[in-house]
Amino acid sequence: MRTGALAARRAIEEYGAVPLVRPADLAGDALVVPLSGIGAPTVSHEMIHGEDEPRRIAEEVERVFGRPPDAVMSSEIGGANGVAPVAWAAQLGLPLLDADGMGRAFPEVQMVSMYVAGLPADLVIMADVAGNVVTIRPVDGLWSERLARAVCVAAGSHALMADYVLTAERARGALIEGTVSRALAIGRSTDAAPDPLRALREELGAARLISGKLTDVERRTTGGFVRGTATIEGTGGDRGRRLTLELQNENLVAVEDGRVRAMVPDLITVVDTETAAAIQTEALRYGQRVTVLAWPCGPLWRTPKGLETAGPRAFGYDLDYTPVEELTT
């Protein structure tokens, strides 16, 4: 996320401020390009997107549709993919849509609100650091994931992707709106707070699962994902407790003494205990003093289609979804 934030600041300094617009502000036929990095987050620290990849995707959108895109959107507001689109929008001279496709971050291509809403996955465009551009015409969202993941692995497990390029008219009702504004509000809540962690919990309505020290992190890059586990040993009032996080690019399940404390699609995040700054899975390190928070996902992900798409069974866990509110009370 730090790399994405630096890129956003630099792009704004060079190209100017990025207007934030609502879907309702755009003409019905305006072309919206959801952009995100796809692949293993650990690789993204070494294969950093430049200005060529978003430009080549915009050129391919214009070639396919016969006109240039009108706005950029973050495919997922969580992690670096929530910040980097600011840079891409600035570089392209386009506004940023105050919306995304997840309301959080998920690791797979089809795990977006557009898929849950039943929109066809007509077009996927990918660009890598080597200069390759790949256009995919998948039959559905699941094939989007299979084909885009294969291209991503061939590109070194990291690429830039435009998924579900769509008009503003089709986007309305299929996106999770207001998420950029919400992210800004969350950030501002901790900026000047005397107790950033408390301010963050109150802003999110989050439960604290544990505070302690990271004592073990196991990560492996496979199939275009980072998978693994992270273990936190409690300190202070949590001394004697141990929480384990299951990872696939994101935090999927939190388990303590064999009992599930939180699970996808609800949100689980690791933050620095002192500053409340979020720590992405690829940045977890032995010895960090952290707090694990969990809070409810948006209502879309608790629908039958939402749970089928991004619930625990979608990731191979033999678990029936239980809301975090029930697991933490």
pLDDT in tens, 188-216: 999 989 999 999 999 999 999 999 999 99
pLDDT digits (tens, 9 = 90+) for 251-269: 999 999 999 999 999 999 9
Fold adopted by 192-327: CV3147-like (2.40.390)
Alpha helix positions (H), the chain: 2-15, 41-44, 52-65, 80-92, 113-116, 141-154, 168-171, 179-191, 196-204, 304-310, 324-327
213 within 8 A of 241, measured Cβ to Cβ: no
Task: State the pLDDT at residue 50.
Answer: 67
Nearest to 97 by CA among 23, 165, 160: 23
Q: Is the dihedral of CA 212, 213, 218, 224 positive or negative?
A: positive
pLDDT of residue 45: 58
Q: Which tens digit of pLDDT belongs to each residue from 43-71?
A: 665 556 667 999 999 999 999 999 999 99
Quick check: 324 and 207 in contact, CB under 8 A?
Answer: yes
Residue-wise pLDDT for 104-129, tens only, equals 999 999 999 999 999 998 899 999 99
Spatial neighbors of 95 by CB under 8 A, at least 6 apart, are 18, 19, 20, 21, 70, 71, 72, 89
pLDDT at 1: 55
pLDDT digits (tens, 9 = 90+) for 64-109: 999 999 999 999 999 889 999 999 999 999 999 999 999 999 999 9
What pLDDT shows up at residue 221? 81
8, 28, 83, 206 from 18: Cα distances, Å: 10, 21, 12, 30
Q: For residue 158, list its beta bridge partners.
A: 39
The closest alpha carbon to 266, from 185, 183, 205, 203, belongs to 205
Return the pLDDT at 122: 87
Does the pLDDT value for residue 40 go beyond 80? no
Please give the Cα distance from 65 to 33 (Å, whole number): 12
Query: pLDDT above 70 covers what percent of the chain?
Result: 96
276 near 185, Cβ under 8 Å?
no
The SS3 of residue 272 is: strand
Q: Any idea where the domains of the chain sit in the sequence?
A: 2-179, 192-327
Full strand arrangement of the beta sheet holding 207-222: 259-263, 250-256, 242-248, 225-234, 207-222, 289-295, 267-272
pLDDT averaged over every residue in the chain = 94
Torsion of CA 265, 123, 226, 83, to 10 degrees: -70
Enter the CATH code of domain 2-179: 3.40.1610.10
**What pLDDT does 192 receive?**
84
Predicted pLDDT at 223: 76
Q: What's the CA gap between 287 and 317, in Å, rounded? A: 29
Q: Which two tokens stand for residue 58?
A: 């915009």
